[in-house]
């Protein structure tokens, strides 16, 4: 590796570590609980790989992969069966962010004023009554506007792209889908590293 490549690698690592720290600050205990839940799943399913790894090291590995690993649509589709259908995303999420396009489209299709259904918080459109979501049925556990639901609901547990155009998983320990996807990302990342080292 040349000196220039080494400097670039070091800068990339520094950027990733800063992103991890930002995520830890933003989500606090919720993120740590998420990392712990993913770690427990990995230890249960791959004890030979993770049983002896110290907790802090494993959580740091998961945080690293969570930050740099890509949540592709193909991966999300492949792992869709991991969704327990529990309704946590609809009933417990306090702030459901939607795009301006979704707010307009849903309002038109429901023939209601946008301001009656959505509100702008911190510069983002959000569902007005979202804890639980106004369209989540407690009786059936299903979405009452499923066919016209917002993109944010269609791509859960991924988020809408942030200001840098990056989508990442919602760090929700209670979401079996998000936990499974993150665990698979860790295993696929380790497999890719192994192939690269052999290669």
State pLDDT tens for residues 116-153: 999 999 888 999 988 899 999 989 888 999 999 998 89
Residue 1 pLDDT level (bands cut at 50, 70, 90): low
The encoded tokens of residue 28 equal: 């606090």
User: pTM of this prediction?
Assistant: 0.80
Q: What is the pLDDT of residue 161?
A: 65
Gap between the Cα atoms of 32 and 171, Å rounded: 9
pLDDT in tens, 14-51: 888 888 898 889 888 999 999 999 999 999 999 999 99
Residue 8 pLDDT level (bands cut at 50, 70, 90): confident
Query: Is pLDDT above 70 for 164?
Result: no
- Region 171-196 average pLDDT: 91
Residue 156 pLDDT level (bands cut at 50, 70, 90): confident
- Region 181-192 average pLDDT: 92
What are 121's strand-pairing partners? 124
Gap between the Cα atoms of 97 and 18, Å rounded: 24
Q: Which of 29, 66, 28, 89 is nearest to 168 (CA)?
A: 66
C-alpha 116, offset from chain centre: 28
Residue 182 pLDDT level (bands cut at 50, 70, 90): very high
| Whether the Cβ atoms of residue 157 and residue 89 lie closer than 8 Å to each other | yes
- Region 155-174 average pLDDT: 76
Q: What is the pLDDT of residue 163?
A: 59
What are 99's strand-pairing partners? none
- Region 107-118 average pLDDT: 95
| Whether the Cβ atoms of residue 39 and residue 62 lie closer than 8 Å to each other | yes
Q: Which of 41, 17, 49 is nearest to 173 (CA)?
A: 41
Q: What is the pLDDT of residue 10?
A: 75
- Region 53-59 average pLDDT: 94
Gap between the Cα atoms of 56 and 39, Å rounded: 10
Q: Is the peptide bond before 86 cis (omega within 30 degrees of 0)?
A: no
């Amino acid at each position: 590796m040349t000196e220039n490549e080494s400097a670039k690698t070091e800068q990339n690592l520094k950027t990733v570590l800063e992103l991890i720290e930002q995520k830890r600050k933003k989500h606090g205990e919720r993120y740590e609980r998420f990392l712990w839940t993913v770690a427990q799943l990995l230890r249960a399913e791959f004890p030979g790989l993770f049983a002896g790894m110290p907790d802090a090291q494993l959580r740091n590995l998961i945080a690293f992969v969570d930050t740099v690993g890509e949540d592709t649509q193909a991966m999300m589709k492949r792992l869709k069966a991991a969704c327990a259908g529990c309704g946590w995303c609809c009933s417990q999420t306090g702030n459901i962010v939607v795009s301006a396009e979704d707010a307009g489209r849903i309002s038109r299709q429901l023939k209601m004023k946008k301001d009656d259904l959505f509100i702008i918080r911190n510069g983002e459109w959000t569902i007005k009554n979202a804890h639980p979501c106004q369209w989540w049925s407690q009786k059936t556990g299903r979405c009452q506007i499923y066919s016209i639901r917002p993109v944010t609901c269609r791509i859960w547990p991924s988020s809408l792209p942030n200001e840098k155009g990056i989508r990442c998983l919602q760090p929700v320990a209670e979401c079996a889908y998000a936990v499974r996807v993150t665990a698979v990302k860790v295993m696929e990342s380790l497999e890719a590293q192994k192939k690269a080292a052999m290669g």
